[in-house]
Structure 1
Amino acid sequence: MRFDERYFDYQTIVDYVILDSNWYNNSNGTTCTSERWSDTTWCWNGRLAELVRRESPFNAAGRSCIAQFVSYASRGGITGRGKRQSGLQSNPISSGDIADYNSCFTNHLHLPDDRNPINVPTLTRFIQNHTMCSTRTDIQDCRTNETTRDLAQRNFGYRLDGLTRPDSPLRNAITYCNRDVFPIVETEPVQSTNECYSGFGRDGDSWFRRQRCAPYENACQTKFIVNGRTTMIMKTCKHRDACMSNFSGNRQNCFSEEAMNNRARVCHFCCTGDLCNNSDNIQDY
């Protein structure tokens, strides 16, 4: 592949797409639904189109590699993995928010011992410049991207969030750094809030009801308390300023490395609009 991405660590890209992204499972259920077609050129080109932009050089290179692979395999050839890249390639230093994001991601990333190291600038540049959200309505991998469609360059962090599997070891770093470096900025007027879910939940059991908010309570708050294997949830109406004040503590109390490692987290989340605090999953906030 010859194009002006001289500092790409291609092993990082391959490892992320295969080991960390939703791409294969999602395309397996849409593009390659029949076992008969699962290893055809058509199938794999369809998979590629669900992830890589058509204008990206990775798209043309991927199609070429797919054609060669299928042709070789059909003749009984034996395919295997090439030698892994040793070490990381040097990268030009990014500037501004991208550099802050890469630094944050590197500091909060913890990989299993059997994983290759990830070159973070390569990964973020690949997501930013070469990937897309699937246009299929039945694929939900980029739903979070819709909330940040007006944030231009910052968009890639939430696309990375949407494309990454929930069980990936990259998940905590992505969640923390998106909220720390690229917090979502409201681009629409705040919705009025007349009702919120209110009550208490613990380890899957919940006692929530609809609560009519007082005139001064213009937001819904959801509070998670994680203590080891126990998770408690509290929901209520709240004044938006008071809720946002609580939310500002999440950087230390919810998403810090210490809180994550010790599984001792206190997280506050705010939303506006009737019954907007309907989820009991911390990943949805």
Structure 2
Amino acid sequence: MKVLVQIIALLSVCGFAFGQDIVERCLEGSSSNGVGNFTVAPCDLSSNRYSCETRIAVNGENMYIERKCKQRMACLNNQQNNRNQCYSQDAMSKRVRVCYFCCDEDVCNDFDTIIPSASPTVPTPDPIQIDDLEDDEFDV
């Protein structure tokens, strides 16, 4: 009986008991030049309707970071602009860059540097691509 109580307690802590789902989370908040506040907030990542988004804006020596749970399609649309706003020679030479990154794992938006553009020589995390989505994944 004691072992059974311990198993039930362990399952409750893990979120499996009594039909509860595990709550997925994203960091939310903002910072300016390393000063700010981020908290962990629930985000329904398993539904494929939401992603954790990180927006990193660099203007000269200043860096602004914003993190949040965002509708997945909106996040992916923002991320599609990285080619021009983040990785282009023009953005880098003017030292004004706005970069968006989407991810779909628990508290995955915890980085504070710009992820390098995908290239054969630079290993990068697998970004979510709009082309990878099935048409029926989202209600329009």
TM-score (norm 1): 0.31
**Corresponding position: 1:194 with 2:24:** yes
> Across the two proteins, how many residue pairs are aligned to each other?
94
- The list of structure 1 runs, each at least 4 consecutive aligned residues, that deviate by more than 6 angstroms after superposition, is none
Q: What letter corresponds to residue 196 of structure 1 in structure 2? A: C
**Corresponding position: 1:262 with 2:98:** no
Structure 1 position 206, deviation (Å): 2.9
The aligned runs of 1:1-285 (5 Å cut-off) are: 194-213=24-43, 217-283=49-115
Q: In structure 2, list runs of 5 or more residues that go unmatched.
A: 1-21, 117-124, 126-140
Q: In structure 1, list runs of 5 or more residues that go unmatched.
A: 1-191
Structure 1 position 238, deviation (Å): 1.2
Task: Determine which structure has more spread, i.e. the larger CA radius of gyration.
Answer: 1
Q: What letter corresponds to residue 250 of structure 1 in structure 2? A: N
State how far apart, in whole Å, the 1-side matches of 2:23 and 2:60 are.
Answer: 34
Pair 1:217–1:193, CA change in 2 (3 A): farther
State how far apart, in whole Å, the 2-side matches of 1:231 and 1:200 are.
Answer: 11
Quote the residue 2:7 is aligned against: none
State how far apart, in whole Å, the 1-side matches of 2:31 and 2:58 are.
Answer: 12
SS in 2 for 1:282: coil
Larger relative contact order (CA 8 Å, sep ≥ 6): 2
State how far apart, in whole Å, the 2-side matches of 1:217 and 1:227 are.
Answer: 31
SS in 1 for 2:98: strand
Task: Quote the sequence identity (%).
Answer: 37
Structure 1 position 246, deviation (Å): 0.5
Name whichever structure is richer in helix by fraction. Answer: 1
Q: What letter corresponds to residue 69 of structure 2 in structure 1? A: C
Name whichever structure is richer in strand by fraction. Answer: 2
RMSD: 2.2
